[in-house]
Amino acid sequence: MSFSTTGMIKTPLFKRTFWLLFVVGFLNIIAIKLYLYWTVWWFDMVVHFLAGATVAMTAMLLWYFFFKGTIPNISKSIKISVAAALLIGILWEFYELYFSITFLSDGLAYWTDTSSDLLMDISGGILGALYAHRILSRD
């Protein structure tokens, strides 16, 4: 297998990760336009779960690319993916604070929402790691 950027783009994992990223972006746009984050209590959880899976799949794809086709064992795949999903999730929470999308002054509601978001990021990260590991192992 070629390990050029073109070779990476042709992998099934890249294509599936790209489409999942598209779905997450589309859901985010729709949620903002239709106020779904504020009117449908569980919608934010779905988007965070899918975003966590997308980040995990991206992390695995980058590992596969930078380490020339090596696939880490399942335990390491989960650790790498969850770490990536958690890092991006935490950065997203800081983004929300910086741009006044959420407020620390909301007290318990803020901490409950943030904890839920990060838990969904981690859960999605685990599923994304398992899925990416399976796809890469089949190639």
Q: What is the rounded CA–CA span in Å between residue 139 and residue 135?
A: 7
Phi and psi torsions of 4, nearest 5°: -80, 170
Question: pLDDT tens for residues 35-83?
Answer: 999 999 999 999 999 999 999 999 999 999 999 888 999 999 999 999 9
Percent of the chain exceeding pLDDT 70 equals 92
What are the tokens at 8? 């990476």
Q: What is the rounded CA–CA span in Å between residue 73 and residue 33?
A: 41
Judged against a pLDDT cut of 70, whether residue 2 lies above it is answered with: no
pTM of the model: 0.90
Question: pLDDT tens for residues 113-129?
Answer: 999 999 999 999 999 99
